[in-house]
Amino acid sequence: MFDLTPLYRSSVGFDRLAGMLDEAASFETPSYPPYNIERLSENAYRITMAVAGFTPSDIAIETKGNALTVSGKKTEKVEAKTEFLHQGIASRAFERRFQLADHVEVTGADLENGLLHISLKREIPEAMKPRTIPVGTGSGSQVIEAKKAA
């Protein structure tokens, strides 16, 4: 368990972070399907999932708030007379959830050679980007002095 008391002393609005850390600590991550998370540039990411045997129509990708959910369910059934001597390719249904940071959006998804690539990009709104505030030369103080004289 993390003690976030020092964080609360000098910050505002990070209470959601505590909830996310508690949830992550108590959450068991499923191991299927395996995946990678890559950072392609400062604001671009890609999640790659191994989904051999699934078609694009078997996979659903949904974003809701800051949550990304990827699920897969096979629609075609294997014929009953098929006899597997070894079945190492899993084709079971899955659901994998990812928590996205603020301003991270899914920009696309591609299925190629059994790998599902989900592209993400962080787009910070102009209002939230750093900006420089010019410092005046005292013209504001002249207005205040003019009001006092009147």
| Torsion angle, alpha carbons of 80, 82, 84, 89, to 10 | -80
Q: Which residue, 116, 122, 121, is CA-closest to 48?
A: 116
With cut-offs at 50, 70 and 90, classify the pLDDT of residue 128.
confident
pLDDT grade, residue 129 (50/70/90)?
confident
Residues 21 and 78 in one domain: no
CATH number of the domain within which 96 lies: 2.60.40.790
The rounded distance, in Å, linking the Cα atoms of 136 and 82 is 81
Range of the domain at 96: 33-125
* Residue 11 and residue 83 in one domain: no
Q: Do 62 and 49 share a structural domain? A: yes
Judge if 108 and 39 occupy the same domain.
Answer: yes
Same domain, 6 and 20: yes
The three-state secondary structure class of 128 is helix
Statement: residue 119 has pLDDT above 90: yes
Do 78 and 22 share a structural domain?
A: no
What pLDDT, in 10s, does the model give residues 9-48?
655 565 666 666 666 665 566 678 999 999 999 889 999 9
Question: Both 109 and 64 in a single domain?
Answer: yes
What pLDDT, on a 0 to 100 scale, did the predictor assign at position 44? 92
- Which residue reads 């004289």 in tokens? 149
Number of domains in the chain: 2
CA distance 142 to 136: 12
The answer to the question of residue 19 being in a domain is yes
The answer to whether residue 102 sits within a structural domain is yes
Residue 47's beta-bridge partner residues? 37, 118
CB 71 within 8 A of CB 60: yes
Note the pLDDT of residue 116.
96
pLDDT computed for residue 46 by the predictor: 94
Q: What is the pLDDT of residues 70-107, one digit of tens each?
A: 999 987 665 667 788 887 877 789 999 998 888 899 99
Instruction: Output the CA torsion sign for 48, 51, 54, 58.
Output: negative
Residue 40 C-beta-side C-alpha neighbours within 13 Å: 13
Pair (51, 115) in one structural domain: yes
The verdict on 93 and 82 lying in the same domain is yes
